[in-house]
Structure 1
Amino acid sequence: MLRLHPYEYHMPAALDEALSLLSDHGDDAMPIAGGTDLVPNMKHGLFTPGHLVALSRVREMRGITSSPAEIRIGAAETLTSVATHPEVLAAVPSLARAAELVSGPQLRRVGTIGGNVCLDTRCAYYNQTKFWRKALGYCLKKDGDVCHVVKGGTRCVAAHSADTPPVLSVLDAVLEVASPDGKREVPIRRFFTSDGIWNRSIGRSELLVAIRIPRPPDGTRIAFQKLRPRQAIDFPLANLAVRVGLDDDGRVSDFRLVISGMGSYPRRVGRVEDAAVGNRLGPSVIEAVAEQAFRQCHPLANITIDPEWRRAMVPVLVRRALNEIAAA
Structure 2
Amino acid sequence: MLRLHPYEYHMPRALDEALSLLATHGDDAMPIAGGTDLVPNMKHGLFTPGHLVALGRVREMRGIASTGDEIRIGAAETLTSVATHPDVLAQVPGLARAAELVSGPQLRRVGTIGGNVCLDTRCAYYNQTKFWRKALGYCLKKDGDVCHVVKGGTRCVAAHSADTPPVLAVLDAVLEVADGADGDRTRDVSIRQFFTSDGIWNRSIGSSELVVAIRIPRPPPGTQVAFQKLRPRAAIDFPLANLAVRVGREDDGRVSDFRLVVSAMGAYPRHVGKVEDAALGNRLGPSVIEAVAEQAFRQCHPLSNITVDPEWRRAMIPVLVRRALNEIAAA
Q: TM-score range by the shorter chain?
A: over 0.9
* Correspondence list, 1:123-202, <5 A: 123-180=123-180, 181=182, 182-202=185-205
Question: What letter matches 1:65 in structure 2?
Answer: A
Distance 1:43 1:219 in 2: 47
Counterparts of 1:15-164 in structure 2 under 5 Å?
Answer: 15-164=15-164
The secondary structure found in structure 2 opposite 1:285 is: helix
Q: Supply the distance in 1 between the matched residues of 2:255 and 2:155 (Cα, whole angstroms).
A: 38
Which SS does the other structure have where 1:12 is aligned?
coil
Could you say what secondary structure the match of 2:207 adopts? coil
Give the ranges of 4+ consecutive aligned residues of structure 1 lying more than 3 Å apart after TM superposition. Answer: none
Q: Distance in 2 between matches of 1:36 and 1:98?
A: 17
Q: Which residue of 1 aligns with 2:241?
A: 238
Give the partner amino acid of 2:223.
T
Aligned equivalents of 1:202, 1:327: Cα separation in 2: 40
For 2:208 and 2:269, how far apart are their aligned partners in 1? 24
Deviations 1:5-38 (A, max 9, x none): 0000000000000000000000000000000000
- Residue equivalent to 1:203: 206
Partners of 2:235 and 2:257 in 1: CA distance:
33
Report deviation, 1:327.
0.2
The one-letter amino acid paired with 1:46 is: L
Deviation at 1:249, TM superposition (A): 1.3
1:263 to 247, 266, 283: 266
Cα distance in 2 for partners of 1:90, 1:279 equals 27
Counterpart amino acid of 2:320?
L
**Equivalent residue for 2:284, pick from 281, 285, 297:** 281
User: Residues of 2 paired with 1:167 and 1:267: CA distance?
Assistant: 11
Q: Which amino acid is the alignment partner of residue 259 of structure 2?
A: R
Measure, in 2, the Cα distance between the counterparts of 1:66 and 1:257: 26
Write the distance in 1 (CA, Å) between the matches of 2:226 and 2:306.
25
CA distance in structure 1 between the partners assigned to 2:179 and 2:12 by the alignment: 15
> What SS does the corresponding residue of 2:213 show, helix, strand or coil?
strand
Q: In structure 2, what residue type is equivalent to 1:201?
A: S
SS at match of 2:296: helix
Amino acid at match of 1:12: P
Instruction: Please tell me the residue identity of whatever aligns with 1:140.
Output: L
Q: Which runs of 5+ in 1 are unaligned?
A: none
Q: Could you say which residue in structure 1 is the equivalent of 2:252?
A: 249
Q: Per the alignment, in what secondary structure is the counterpart of residue 149 of structure 1?
A: coil
- Secondary structure of 1:23's partner? helix
C-alpha distance in 1, partners of 2:36/2:7? 17
TM-score by length of 2: 0.99
Aligned length: 328
Cα distance in 2 between the residues matched to 1:92 and 1:61: 20
Report the secondary structure of 2:16's partner residue.
Answer: helix
CA deviations 1:136-187 (Å, max 9, x no partner) are: 0000000000110001111100000000000000000000000122000000
The secondary structure found in structure 1 opposite 2:107 is helix
User: What whole-Å deviation, never above 9, does each CA across 1:19-71 have from its counterpart, x for those lacking one?
Assistant: 00000000000000000000000000000000000000000000000001000
TM-score relative to the length of structure 1: 1.00
2:223 aligns with 220
Structure 2 unaligned residues grouped into runs of 5+: none
Distance in 2 between residues matched to 1:275 and 1:82, nearest whole Å? 33
Give the Cα separation in 2 of the matches to 1:107 and 1:250: 40
Matched AA of 1:90? A
Q: CA deviation at 1:248?
A: 1.6
**CA offsets per residue over residues 230-284 of structure 1, 9 Å max, x none?**
0010000000000001012110001000000000000000000000000000000
Report the equivalent of 1:13: 13
Name the CA distance, whole Å, in 2 between partners of 1:100 and 1:249: 32
Distance in 2 (CA, whole Å) between partners of 1:60 and 1:253 is 37
- 1:197 alignment partner AA: I
Among the aligned pairs, what percent are the same residue?
A: 89
Q: Which amino acid letter does the alignment assign opposite residue 130 of structure 2?
A: K
The amino acid that maps onto 1:32 is I
Letter in 2 for 1:275: A
Q: Which residue identity does 2:324 align to in structure 1?
A: A
